[in-house]
Amino acid sequence: MPQIYLTGSGVFTPPYAISNEDLVTSFNQYIDQHNQKTGESLTHSSAEFIEKASGIKSRYVMEKAGILNPNRMRPFYPKRLDTEMSIQAEMALPAIKEALAASKKTAKNIDVIICACASLQRSYPAVAIEIQHYLGASGYAFDVNVACSSATFAIDIAYHMLQTGSANTILVVNPELCSSHLNFKDRDSHFIFGDVASAVILERKEVANQQADAFELLGTFLKTNFSNNIRNNDGIINATEDPEDTPNIQFHYFTQQGKKVFKEVVPMVSEHIQTQVYNHHYTPDKIKRLWLHQANINMNRLIAEKFYNRDITPLEAPIILDTYANTSSAGSIIAFHQHHQDFKTGELGLICSFGAGYSIGSVLVKKV
């Protein structure tokens, strides 16, 4: 089988940061207004509660003022003309350019672009094709959505396309505009997500630049199991659900049953990645690092401990969600991007994402 390399990664970090303290101040002001207006007794939040529950201390967003306005509690993105670049394409391009620079490639080398993320800002035309247009790449492009596993599922698609020879170089990009589907009025979830874009370049060995900081893909492994415990009902039929003549379209936000997700996903993921490693005739002690989906620090720690069957060091499962929060499918790619430079030739690592679906995707890599 032909060897497939990951030769470059890139991350775009949005311009605005919101600390837990900033978020809680706005949220508590909203709660006070709500309680006064309705007579309810909804509970305040605190920065300490958020960090203890999730490990999150801050998050980056594409728009800050609307989120922190207690009279709005959601981002404000002025409508753009169809002739203007979309927000997700705008986010994607800097991450792509960093990944291209790392792989020593240019846009003309890209055969295929896969835009993979949890929430696409429109049904069509594909955001991937728009990115292709502004990047100046040829070939073709398409979108993929498998929620928080979108990046690893797209890497799997690219991996098999490269193996068949239908392409030589494929770009996978993940413009995660997560703040747009987060209910900032909900105490249990208003702190979870942040915005970001990540990108990776995947290539057949024979076309890869020998100066690139490359990892060989040894294999990918995917698993899905239907669950309603993480859900977002936003979709094209929303306007048809209202029985009145004038549709009253409601906001459809991310929802989850957090305790159920934790209880069910942790054993599924730890077993999944152990199975992949054993199927490639390795044992967990041979895996230098797990680059895990960044949803919850307690979940990640437990998954890693179950995988290694012991206590872990911080570098064996690095955390980036303290500053980025949950960035959906981009989280594991950010962790890889920031924590792979110390790898030596022959050392192994595993990228793994998991989320709504349920879906789990993992990629076993070896430093070239």
Q: What angle do CA 102, 108, 113 make, to 5 degrees?
A: 75
Cβ-contact 18, 27 below 8 angstroms: no
Cβ-contact 152, 335 below 8 angstroms: no
Task: Round to whole Å and give the CA distance between 50 and 189.
Answer: 9
Q: Please, what is the end-to-end C-alpha distance for the chain in angstroms?
A: 17
Distances from the Cα of 14 to the Cαs of 9, 152, 198, 321, in angstroms?
17, 22, 11, 15
117 tagged catalytic:
no
Q: Determine which one of 117, 148, 178, 352 is catalytic.
A: 148
Task: Round to whole Å and give the CA distance between 361 and 116.
Answer: 13
Cβ-contact 196, 211 below 8 angstroms: no
Task: Round to whole Å and give the CA distance between 365 and 6.
Answer: 9
Q: Known catalytic residues?
A: 148
